[in-house]
Every structure is written in C-alpha cells, then in structure tokens.
C-alpha cells in the first residue's frame, strides 16, 4: 500500500485555505437562506445499508455506489444521495411530526468514479426537502427556497429551468410503444438527439403523440415554449402539466424570480423517481447543472409511509468555484464566446469547409500552423483542435461549449452532453471481422476479440448474450487475427480495403458511424441563441 501514501482516492481532493473559505461562504449563505425560510437541519449517517438506496431509488447506478462490507458481511454504501435517507427518516422517525415538515441538510455525497476523467467522487450538497405538502403552494415554496439560496450566494448569472415528469409519461403512454422503444425514445429526448429521435418515431407514423414527442428535445428556452407545446398536442394530461407550469411560473414571477426561469420540457431523466415538476439550476462558468430537484411523491411510500414530497440539492462546491472564477477577465470573455472543439484529422477538413461556407473567416486555420486555439474574427466563435476522445472531455467539462466528433468515439467513451446533430459526413461503420472462412462462433472456447473499442465490443456481444474476452489494441487492429492473438476484431470499416488487402472479411455490422455535433449541458441552456446559430449555419452548409 506504500504506493498510495501521498495521494487521495480517485475523485477526491484536499481543499486548502482560500478554497475552504470560498466553499464555507457559499455553504453558509445557502444554509442561512434555508433557515430563514423555516427549514431545519438534519444530519444522516455517511454510511448506510445498500438496501436503503437499492430499493428506494433504482435510478441510482449501483456501479457508482462506493461499497463497504461491515464486520457482519452486510453491504453498506457511502451515502450516494441525500434525499433517500431523508425520505427514510420522514417515513419512520418523524411519524408523529406535524406536517408539512421542512428539512435541510449540508453534507457530502459519494460516488465511485474511474480515474483520469476529472469526475468528482465526493461533493458537498446543501439541499432542502418539503415533506407532507403537495400542489402549487408547496412547489412554489421549494422553488422560492432554491432561488433565494442561489441569490444569497452572491451569484448574479444563474438560471433555473423547469420541466414536468407528466409530459413524457403521458405522451409515451398515448403512443403505445413497448418498454424497449419507450426507453430508446426517452434516451434520445434526454440527449436532445433530434434526428435520431425522428428515426425512432418513424414506425409510429403520423400519430399526434409521435409528432409531439419528436418536438420535445427542442422545447427549451423561455416561457414561450409553453405556448408552442399547446399547439402540438391535445393530450389532456400534457395540457394539465403545461397549465400547471404556467401557474407556477406566474407565482414565481410575482415573487420576483421570473427573469431567472427557463423551461425545458425535454427534462426526462430519472422518470420513475420524479412524479411532478422537475428542475435544474445552471450558473455561468460551471459545465453541469449545479442544482437539481423536483417532486417525488412516491419515495416516502417505499419506506412505509405515503407522503408527498419535493426538494432540491445544490452542489455548493461548483457554485463556489464559479464565484471564485467570475472576476477573471477570461471568464467574462467566455460568456460571450462559443468555443467549438474539432476532431483533428479526417473530420476537421469537412467541418472547416462548412464553417467557411457559412461565412466564417478560417484563414488562420488554413495557414497550417501548430496553433491549437483560434479566434475566428468578428464572429464570437473560437475553434479548438483536439483528438477525438478529448473533444468529449472538453465539452463534458464545459471548457468547450460544443464539439464535432465521430459517433464511434461517443459510443466508446459515453459521457454527459447533448448529441444534437448528425452531420452525415465521416461515414463509416463498426464491424465484426475475421480471417476469411474462420468460424468465430463455433466450438466452446470464449472468443477473443481485439479492438480499439472495448466498450462498444462488450456492449455488442452483451446484446447477443455472449461472453467474449477483449484485448485492447491501439491501431492497425487487423494485425491481431493475422498474428493469431485474437479470433476476430471489432473495428471501423469504411471502404473495406484494409480488411480485403489483409485477407479478412466482415462477419456482421455492429453500428453505423458519422460525425455528430455535441453540446455541453449548461452551455446549451446558457448560450442557447449563439449555439443554435452555429448549428443552423452548419446544417445549412450540409443542405448544399
């Protein structure tokens, strides 16, 4: 263990001096705002039984829970979420308390993260829960607390967006899709993948629910979005949810928060958890939501007491970091710039040609220098050149607002971002290939598959219910079966020339590939107009 004596575990870090002061200042501001609104603090154990989270909140990914085995062999987890233990307490220890009860917490949550991604494995959350109350007044109470808490931190550029769980639920039920298609459609709405969503809804023809669902990824922005949806569907549950959001907006506007409210009707994650309004908060300089909350009327019942409830949690560390950075001049510039990460190599030329067609001055990029960051004159656009996987990293962390990257890299690396446009160039495919005439599936031996894309390969064979052994190869993967290291390969095939010239052949196609535009989750909201403009210009170039 000597090796690890000077480092901290993946996703954790020490905070010293000014960072501590900034964090505590933000934390205390949020706490004060909640105390003033009548919320009382509770503290729950840092370690709880796994069952608390597994049964109550199946949305929490068990891979991401940091597990600990106690002396009796029972599985415990470092608290991955603050709301679930509070629901446990509300349903059990507070059964004779007068309702509603307003609770708040200021404590860490923990996640098991893999190395080198820069994802946090522990963060301090301050949040509030209003338990035993339902309806407009209760939702207004919770959201007002969220607005008041963020205002109290001194942040001047934050927004909270509202959505409603009922909208997707009602439309997908009206559509009558099976469970697998419903989940595929939900994912595409969540990722704002307009084009792919259109394809997934194709089999449902011109059904009104299909039309309304296909518009969902685009239904975000100001309050006018609510008018739009009313022209798209006559579904009474959806119209009820829209009318409710309108009333809630009005109530919050009267309380002085109208300017800070955005709408996103494509908020569809954690569907079985949220039962009514859902909301997310964003702040300039943070690449992800810094606040998340909503109504979860079914949670307390999982602990034996049926109580309506709603609440939110704020990632105070990200808020503090954003506030600390806000005074730097480059941060102010970033607010008005759209920074695009381009994949160097095959995809670069075509993307630059599209930008040039759209009227951007790319002469500095054409000059063939070794520079990596370019400001396109008089456009508010910056270009960053990077390797494919890094495009995702930069966009995910919000240091670039958008990126152009192949679907192959997206499938292999995953991550949290919107995949907004299929640019249609850089076309190729993932395929399973082997030496001519070889039977990869024959016999009882576990097949060995060489690939640059182990995650894609495992997912492919998983869908086939087959166990394979993968070996990661960095390039010219075709060598592996020729050298008898592997039975087959999963690799990119474009013309098929490389396979042919090496005596290999495709056994099966795995997935089609093309270049995609990805957008950072916070930038999509905070810089919507500027980003939509760039996207529209790229798309216009494609039509030519």
> Is residue 481 a contact partner of residue 456, using CB atoms and an 8 Å limit?
no
| The only residue of 327, 495, 529, 543 in contact with ligand PRP, by rule CB under 6 A | 495
How many of the other CB atoms lie within 10 Å of CB of 102?
Answer: 20
Q: Is residue 403 involved in binding ligand ATP (CB under 6 A)?
A: no
CB of 409 vs ligand ATP, minimal distance in Å: 5
311 DSSP assignment: E
The token duo for 346 is 């095959």
Cis peptide before 100, with omega less than 30 degrees from 0? yes
| The only residue of 208, 221, 415, 496 in contact with ligand PRP, by rule CB under 6 A | 496
Three-state DSSP class for 191? Answer: coil
The alpha-carbon radius of gyration of the chain (Å, integer) is 25
For 500-528, letters b (16+ CB in 10 Å) and e give eeeebeebeebeebbbbbbbbbbbbbbbe
Select 162 or 347, whichever has its Cβ closest to ligand PRP. Answer: 347
Q: Is residue 406 involved in binding ligand ATP (CB under 6 A)?
A: yes
| The only residue of 28, 144, 181, 498 in contact with ligand PRP, by rule CB under 6 A | 498
Binding mask 457-486 for ligand PRP (x = CB under 6 A): ------------------xx-x--------
Chosen from ligand ATP, ligand PRP, none, partner binding at 497 (C-beta under 5 to 8 Å by type): ligand PRP
Degrees (nearest 5) of the Cα angle 432, 435, 437? 105
Q: By CB under 6 A, which span of 148-156, 237-245, 311-319, 342-350 interacts with ligand ATP?
A: 342-350
| The only residue of 272, 494, 508, 509 in contact with ligand ATP, by rule CB under 6 A | 494
The token duo for 211 is 């039309």
Q: Is residue 497 involved in binding ligand PRP (CB under 6 A)?
A: yes
Select 175 or 493, whichever has its Cβ closest to ligand ATP. Answer: 493
Q: Is residue 428 involved in binding ligand ATP (CB under 6 A)?
A: yes
Q: Is residue 391 involved in binding ligand ATP (CB under 6 A)?
A: no
The token duo for 494 is 């474009």
E strand or H helix that includes residue 129:
strand 122-131
Q: Is residue 393 involved in binding ligand ATP (CB under 6 A)?
A: no
Chosen from ligand ATP, ligand PRP, none, partner binding at 409 (C-beta under 5 to 8 Å by type): ligand ATP
Closest CA to 258 of 137, 159, 389, 142: 159
| The only residue of 133, 493, 513, 526 in contact with ligand PRP, by rule CB under 6 A | 493
CB of 426 vs ligand PRP, minimal distance in Å: 12
| The only residue of 494, 503, 509, 512 in contact with ligand PRP, by rule CB under 6 A | 494
Q: Is residue 511 involved in binding ligand ATP (CB under 6 A)?
A: no
E strand or H helix that includes residue 323:
helix 316-325
Range 173-202, binding ligand ATP (CB under 6 A): none
| CA–CA separation, 27 and 21 (whole Å) | 10
> Is residue 106 a contact partner of residue 322, using CB atoms and an 8 Å limit?
no
| The only residue of 15, 239, 492, 530 in contact with ligand PRP, by rule CB under 6 A | 492
Contact residues for 141 (Cβ-Cβ < 8 A; gap 6+): 37, 130, 133
Sole residue written with tokens 């850089």:
426
| CA–CA separation, 487 and 434 (whole Å) | 7
Contact residues for 284 (Cβ-Cβ < 8 A; gap 6+): 157, 158, 322, 326, 331, 335, 526
| Residues contacting ligand PRP: total by CB under 6 A | 11
Select 32 or 494, whichever has its Cβ closest to ligand PRP. Answer: 494
Sole residue written with tokens 């001049």:
329
Chosen from ligand PRP, ligand ATP, none, partner binding at 458 (C-beta under 5 to 8 Å by type): none
Q: By CB under 6 A, which span of 18-26, 114-122, 165-173, 490-498 interacts with ligand PRP?
A: 490-498
Q: Is residue 347 involved in binding ligand ATP (CB under 6 A)?
A: yes
Longest pairwise C-alpha distance within the chain: 77
CB of 187 vs ligand ATP, minimal distance in Å: 21
Which residues of this protein are in contact with ligand ATP, per CB under 6 A? 343, 345-347, 387-388, 406, 408-409, 426, 428, 475, 492, 494, 513
Which residues of this protein are in contact with ligand PRP, per CB under 6 A? 475-476, 478, 491-498
């Amino acid at each position: 263990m000597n090796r690890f004596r000077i480092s901290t575990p993946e996703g954790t870090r020490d905070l010293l001096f000014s960072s501590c002061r900034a964090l505590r200042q933000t934390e205390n501001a949020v706490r004060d705002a909640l105390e003033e609104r009548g919320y009382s603090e509770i503290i729950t154990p840092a370690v709880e039984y796994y069952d608390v989270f597994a049964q109550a909140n199946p949305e929490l990914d068990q891979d991401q829970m940091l597990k600990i085995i106690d002396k009796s062999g029972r599985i415990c987890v470092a608290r991955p979420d603050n709301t679930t233990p509070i629901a446990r307490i509300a349903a059990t220890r507070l059964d004779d308390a007068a309702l509603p009860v307003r609770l708040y917490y200021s404590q860490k949550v923990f996640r098991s993260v893999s190395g080198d991604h820069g994802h946090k494995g522990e963060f301090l959350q301050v949040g509030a829960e209003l338990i035993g109350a339902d309806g407009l007044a209760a939702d207004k109470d919770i959201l007002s607390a969220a607005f008041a808490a963020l205002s109290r931190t001194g942040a001047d550029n934050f927004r909270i967006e509202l959505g409603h769980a009922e909208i997707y639920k009602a439309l997908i039920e009206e559509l009558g899709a099976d469970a697998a298609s419903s989940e595929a459609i939900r994912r595409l709405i969540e990722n704002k993948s307009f084009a792919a969503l259109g394809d997934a809804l194709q089999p449902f023809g011109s059904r009104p629910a299909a039309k309304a669902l296909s518009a969902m990824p685009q239904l975000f922005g100001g309050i006018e979005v609510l008018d739009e949806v009313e022209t798209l569907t006559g579904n009474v549950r959806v119209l009820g949810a829209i009318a409710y959001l309108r009333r809630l907006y009005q109530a919050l506007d009267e309380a002085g928060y109208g300017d800070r409210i955005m709408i996103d009707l494509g908020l569809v994650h954690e569907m079985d958890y949220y039962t009514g309004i859902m909301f997310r908060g964003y702040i300039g300089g943070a690449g992800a939501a810094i606040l998340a909350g909503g109504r979860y009327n079914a949670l307390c019942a999982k602990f034996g007491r049926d109580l309506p409830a709603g609440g939110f949690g704020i990632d105070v560390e990200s808020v503090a970091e954003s506030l600390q950075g806000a005074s730097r001049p480059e941060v102010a510039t970033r607010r008005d710039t759209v920074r695009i990460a381009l994949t160097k190599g095959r995809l670069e030329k075509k993307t630059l040609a599209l930008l040039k067609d759209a009227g951007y001055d790319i002469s500095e990029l054409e000059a063939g220098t070794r520079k990596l960051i370019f400001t396109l004159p008089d456009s508010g656009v910056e270009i960053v050149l990077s390797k494919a996987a890094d495009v995702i990293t930069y966009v995910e962390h919000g240091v670039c607002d958008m990126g152009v990257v192949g679907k192959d890299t997206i499938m292999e690396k995953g991550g949290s971002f919107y995949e907004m446009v299929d640019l249609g160039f850089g076309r190729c495919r993932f395929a399973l290939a082997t030496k001519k005439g070889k039977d990869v599936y024959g016999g009882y031996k576990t097949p060995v598959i060489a690939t640059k894309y182990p995650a894609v390969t495992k997912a492919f064979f998983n869908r086939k219910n087959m166990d394979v052994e993968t070996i990661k190869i960095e390039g010219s993967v075709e060598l592996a079966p020729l050298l008898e290291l592997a039975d087959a390969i999963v690799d990119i095939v474009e013309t098929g020339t490389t396979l042919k010239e090496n005596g290999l052949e495709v056994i099966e196609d795995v997935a089609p590939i093309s270049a995609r535009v990805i957008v950072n989750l916070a930038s999509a909201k905070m810089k919507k107009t500027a980003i939509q403009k760039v996207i529209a210009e790229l798309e216009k170039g494609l039509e030519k």
